[in-house]
Amino acid sequence: MGDVIANRPLEGRIALVTGASKGIGAATAIALAAAGAHVVITARTVKELEVVEDAIHDAGGTSTIAPLDLTENDSIGRLAQALAQRWERLDVLVISAATLPTLTPVTQIDARQFNQALTLNVLATQALLAVFDPLLKRSKHGRIIGLTSSVGAEPRAFWGAYGATKAAFDNLLLSHGQEIGRISDTRVAIVDPGATRTAMRAKAYPGEDPQSVKPPEVVGQAIVQMLVDDFSNLTRKRVETSA
C-alpha cells in the first residue's frame, strides 16, 4: 500500500468524507489525501477536524474543513452548493458518519436515540445521495462508498435499533446503485469494516481489549485500494484484515 500511496494515484480527485473527525472516517480521509485526493472533511466538532487536517497537511496532503451537523435542516444542501461553486464536481463520496443507540432489547429502545440514529444513519444518507448525485455525475469516475455493519444484514439480539438503520442504509445505497447503473458512470460500494478499533466499538464492547482488533487505518487503506483498483457497481466488501 505504501507504494500505491507514494505514487499518488488519486491525484486531482475531489473526495468528501462524512464522520471524518475520528475513527474510520478520519483514517479514510488521511489515506485518501496521502493518495493524492483533495479531501473535504466534515463532522460536527471543529477541533477534532483540525487534528485530522493537521495530519493530512503534515503528510503533504490537502484538505478542506467543513464543520456541520448532517442532521440539521439544509446543512447538506449548503455543503453541496459550496462544493459545486468551488469544484463543480465530486469524484468520491465516503459516507462514514453514524451513531450507535444504546444496545437494548427491541421492546426497550429509547425513542429519542432511535430517532437520532434514523435521522443520521438513514435520512441524512438519502439527502447526501440526492444532493451530490449531480456533482458525482459530472465526474468521469464518481464513486460512492458507504460504511455499514454486519448487523444490518444479520440481525443480532440487542442491536435492533442500530441494525435497523444499517439495513435501511444498505437498501438505500444499493437501490441508488441500481437506479443509476445504466444512466451514469457513478458506482456504489458498501464496505463492512468488521471489528475495528473505534470509539463506537468501545461503546458496544467496553470490556474488549482495543489492541485485539485492527486499527481504523487498515480500513482507510482498504478503501483507498478499492478506488485505486476500481470496483464494479453494487460491490459489497468486508475488511477482514486483523490487527
Mean pLDDT of 16-24: 96
pLDDT band at 242 (very low <50, low <70, confident <90, very high): low
Q: State how far the Cα of 135 lies from the Cα of 83, in Å rounded to an integer.
A: 9
pLDDT of res. 73 = 83
User: Which domains does the chain show, CATH number per domain?
Assistant: 2-238 (3.40.50.720)
Cell of 55: 495530519
Of 162, 166, 180, 190, which residue is the catalytic one? 162
**Which pTM value belongs to this model?**
0.94
205 classed as catalytic? no
**Stated length of the chain:** 243
In 3D, which of 235, 11, 67, 32 has the Cα closest to residue 144? 235
Mean pLDDT of 237-243: 77
Mean pLDDT of 188-207: 93
pLDDT tens for each residue of 84-141: 999 999 999 999 999 999 999 999 999 999 999 999 999 999 999 999 999 999 999 8
Mean pLDDT of 31-51: 96
pLDDT of res. 134 = 96
Whether the per-residue pLDDT at 243 is higher than 70: the answer is no
